Amino acid sequence: MTSGGDSAGMNPAVKCAAEYSASLGYEPFLVYNGLKGLIDNEIKRASTVDLSEMMHRGGTLLRSSRSERFFDYKYRKIAHDNLEKHGISMLLVIGGDGSFRALHQFYNDFQIPFAGIPATIDNDIPGTDYCLGVDTALNMIRQNVDSIRDTAHSFNRAFVIEAMGRHCGYLAMASAVTSGADICIVPELEYDLNSIGDRLKQKQSEGNNFFIGIVAEGCNVSDYLTRWLKDSLHMDARLTILGHIQRGGSPTVRDRLMAYKFATAAVDSLHRGEPSNIITYQSGSFGRIPINEVTDSKPHSDKALLELCKPLCH
């Protein structure tokens, strides 16, 4: 099943998990519409037809949802009974920490083992350096920033580009560094507009006629920064909010390959009889951690990336 916000890489992970588990002798099922589908019995046996179009498709073909009913034991019991009707004895969930918490509660209630694959473009799951969908989202941002740079240069404009990221600025930071942005504002770093203004004015005096700023949505400063650039630098400034295009798109090669590696590790964890692990990727290696290490921790920012972005905040 997939749950929470969609991200590219979910579909390849579903395909691999189903095919790999079948090769180990299991009978895989697909849960549609996330937690809601567990309650409403939107569950069917996986077929080759279901899996055949998954490799190149973005989002999640199983669809997703958020379910307030799942917080109620009565509805979790209904979900459990639905699984029993199908003979399902373990679950694999592809999603974020909210989905993992829900399945952990489900395990505590009914002792149905689960494994979790981190999938969120914010890249903010504690314990893992990478979540499915991040590379595809970064490439979507890169493509759009490159296009905006062309028109910024043509019209001597400053552009502020807002990337997703409520509490985590990973997308904005990685995009700012790799697109040659002049400004980066994220929740993790303090910024100084006076210092930024002095730096950009110096660039203007040296002949720079356009500027690019990338901002994480959680900072809530995109509109203000756009007005500030116009007033401080006396140039036309525009705001582009990328929004949900960052979640879509055909998964990149990296996300497809990572999906396969995450999925096989998750199935192996269940096959070994491990009850509630989250699959992780750290320092180039795949591993697993108990769910409580995810729910009881906060995500850690990439220190090297923070250092690269500091000059763009001052």
Listed in sequence order, the DSSP H helices in the chain are: 10-23, 34-39, 48-52, 73-86, 97-110, 134-155, 170-179, 193-205, 222-233, 253-271, 291-295, 303-309
- Candidates 40, 97, 122, 124; catalytic one: 122
CA distance 258 to 252: 10
Number of Cβ within 10 Å of residue 108's Cβ equals 11
Q: Is residue 210 within a helix (H) or strand (E), and if so which, with residue range? A: none
Q: Is residue 162 within a helix (H) or strand (E), and if so which, with residue range? A: strand 158-163
Listed in sequence order, the DSSP H helices in 206-290 are: 222-233, 253-271
CA distance 204 to 24: 63
- Reference 242, options 213, 217, 212; nearest CA is 217
135 is catalytic: no
CA 125 to mean position of chain CA atoms: 9
CA distance 302 to 85: 45
SS3 of 57-107: CCCCCCCCCCCHHHHCHHHHHHHHHHHHHHCCCCEEEEECHHHHHHHHHHH
Q: Catalytic site residues? A: 122
